[in-house]
Amino acid sequence: MEKKVYSVDGKELRTINLDDTVFGLPVNEDVIYYAINNELANKRVGTACTKGRAEVHGSNAKPYKQKGTGNARRGDKKSPLVRGGGVVFGPKPRDFSFALPKKVKRLAMKSILSLKAQTDRLTIVEDFTVASGKTKDLVKILSNFGKDERTVIVLKDDDAKIKQAGRNIPTVSFLSFNRLRAHDLFYGKKIVMLETAAKNLGDFYKAEKGAE
């Protein structure tokens, strides 16, 4: 697949051949769903906790005798029917995370990248950084590639300066080419990928496949 490479000013520079095994696959919606669901589940804290009837503080004695009072039958104060009593089937701390096969994760990432490339939401930009670390400089660059929308910048390495420039922009997130997240990629309206990151992605997935 051929894609145009743009300068930071938004001008076309050249074309680049993207690896079809990463950017030219049929979109598999099922694995995308599984990958996103897995990421969201793994982020859940799972600390919600309620006390059952056996755990709340209170007496085990009946408030009044069973018969002869004219009242309904009543157990102890810890009954779920009484205010302050135990909770029936309430949540307990649990681990929501689950493992997803590596092949499924890898296919999900490649499906999302293929989807973005096929729908023209993927823009390849020459390698750049924001040496000043200032937000206004990054905003100026991003303004050449579309309006203010949810943007994901895929970096070739862990560039601290460009991340510093973008941390005050709520619509911008950063990913390294070797640490992609399905949720961010899928819901990003615009994917701005550095040229070297695009080249490295093909080698990265080939290396992973060879290691199996």
36-42-48 Cα angle (round to 5): 125
58-104 confidence digits (pLDDT tens): 889 998 999 999 999 989 999 999 999 999 999 999 999 999 999 99
Q: Give the pLDDT band of residue 157 (cuts 50, 70, 90).
A: confident
CA distance 91 to 62: 27
What order do you get walking across the sheet with 2-6 strand by strand?
Answer: 12-17, 2-6, 122-125, 190-194, 151-155, 172-176
Phi, psi of 20 (to 5 degrees): -65, -20
Question: How would residue 207 be classed by pLDDT, with cut points 50, 70 and 90?
Answer: low
pTM of the model: 0.83
Angle between the 29-43 and 102-118 helix axes, to the nearest 10 degrees? Answer: 120
User: Above pLDDT 70, what percent of the chain?
Assistant: 97
Q: Report the distance separating Cα 96 and Cα 103, nearest Å.
A: 21
List the domains of the chain with CATH numbers.
2-27+100-211 (3.40.1370.10), 45-95 (no CATH)
pLDDT tens, 27-56?
Answer: 999 999 999 999 999 999 999 999 999 999
